Amino acid sequence: MADGRLRRLLAFDRQVRRDQAQSPVFLHRRDRRFALDCEVRNETPTVDRWLAHLQRFGSMPDSHRTRPETEVPEPSLTRWWQLMAAFAFAGIILGTVTMAGLLYYEGGQRINLTLLLAFAGLQTLLALVTIVQSTINWQPWRRLLRRVAQTGKDSPLKPLMPTLMARAAHAGGICFGLAGVATLLVLVVIQDLAFGWSTTLDTSAEGYHQLLAVLAWPWQSLWPAASPDLALVQATRFFRTETGATGADPELWGQWWPFVVMVWLFYVVVPRLLGLALAQIQLQRRARQALDSHSGMVALEYRLETPTVDTGNEHHDAEDSPDEKTAAQLQPLPDSQVLIFWAGSNHPELPDTLTAGHLLTEAAGGQHSLSEDEQTIQRCGDLLAKQDKPAVTLVTRAWEPPIAELQDFIELASSQWPKKTRIALLPYAMDAHQINGRHQLDQWLRFSERLQDKRIWVSQPDLSSPETRAYGQQAEGSG
């Protein structure tokens, strides 16, 4: 549920960023039309319905509408899940090693219960500190988050980072406690552990028993054997000068293990479980607050509630040319190992000068489903991981404007391919000489500039090749 709210927040932020390329008039008419449709159907215009509406009536083909916008994999959330998995794995290792060290027993001494209680109390204190840190929105992990989570300054997840980190810490603490309990049970079976209690302070057996009775109060009716009686406490005290279990029944030294198990479960695992549940609740609340306070939400609510007004001005800007200035420049085609045809750009077939020399040729977009595109990305990633200088040529139709579907494909591929992979966009025109002009090429240069990734650029085919000119004539005749 919490991750669902996070995906909704990220999906809304991504759509708001896309809308920045549209005119305010277009956005107002589009969203006002959506609000009126909801009013006709007696529905409340929520963010989920708005995103579904844009996905349903946007430029994405029907074959790609197999997954809601709020269920699209998010690289930022994936990194947080990887961080939580790393904490959980570290917790398992540390929990096993710690319990094995606390229960180290050679037969000549007893395992001191006082040390076990102190360590369990330390874990309870750490869980409480983590809960407080998340509640007051404190970030003691700031340097670690900058290196691992890689959440940008303008990311909508920035106010949620303390809670996300607390959730990862609690997950690691739960695995730490459970691994410790599992190690304790294994050692109880394979070894004859001898527990006892000792302290340098002048403490009577009656006082120590009262302390243990308070600690065991939560489970004394659930598991009476895990609540030690006064006779057991009196019989299992040892002093530093003792070398063996003289003066006591040896069977008594092993009767402490149920109490140790319950102490570990209740004072190490349970606080972490409560902390994890609280972190989930905080994530839901803070994700909702972040969405309500998002700058795009205020503008969206205004567009939904305010009617559009036509002034009747006879002047229109249909013939006005938009600003086509861009800082992006054409780059040469790299020696790529992978060739991908986007949305049927391989019909008619391209000349051999462009297609030869690639180790793998794939097709994506258009009539291919989302799962097929993900499989294509996976196959390409397996090949690129084996290359020293991985590079991909992505062939598109120059006369078709770049759409959000292509941007999603490139962003998903960039997150799964090796970080040093270069992606060359190759817009190809129906008329091979038409690409010389800037009319079709500028839209692709602006598209590459919006991606804000230096590994992605636009390339141009060699127009001097006879095969290229023949392809242009063939494409023009078929069009």
Question: Which domains, ranges and CATH numbers included, belong to the chain?
Answer: 1-309 (no CATH), 338-478 (3.40.50)
Per-residue pLDDT band at 281 (split at 50, 70, 90) = very high
Instruction: Quickly count: other Cβ atoms within 10 Å of residue 115's Cβ.
Output: 13
Does the pLDDT at position 77 exceed 50? yes
Cβ neighbours for 286, distance < 8 A, ≥ 6 positions apart: 159, 160, 163
Is the previous residue joined to 348 through a cis bond, with omega within 30 degrees of 0? yes
pLDDT tens column, 360-374 = 889 998 888 888 999
Spell out the alpha helix ranges (H) of 41-112.
47-57, 75-102
Residue 455 has pLDDT above 50, yes or no: yes
Q: 10, exposed or middle or buried, with CB in 10 Å at 0-12, 13-18, 19+? A: buried
- Predicted confidence at residue 477, as pLDDT, reads 42
Which phi and psi angles does 313 have, rounded to 5°?
-65, 130
**What is the Cα–Cα distance from 43 to 31, expressed in whole angstroms?**
15
3-state secondary structure of 136: coil
Q: Give the position of tokens 């992605």.
A: 456
pLDDT in tens, 300-336: 888 888 887 765 555 555 555 555 566 667 888 888 8
Measure Cα distances from 207 to 41, 115, 185, 248, 292 in Å.
Answer: 71, 17, 29, 20, 55
Which of 45-54, 82-91, 136-145, 223-232 is the least confident region?
Answer: 136-145
Among the ranges given (12-16, 256-260, 416-420, 430-434), the one the predictor scored with the smallest mean pLDDT:
430-434
Q: Are the beta carbons of 66 and 370 closer than 8 angstroms?
A: yes
* Cα angle: 312, vertex 316, 317; to 5 degrees: 150
In angstroms, rounded to a whole number, what is the distance separating the alpha carbons of residues 318 and 313? 13
Q: What is the pLDDT of residues 436-445, one digit of tens each?
A: 446 677 888 8
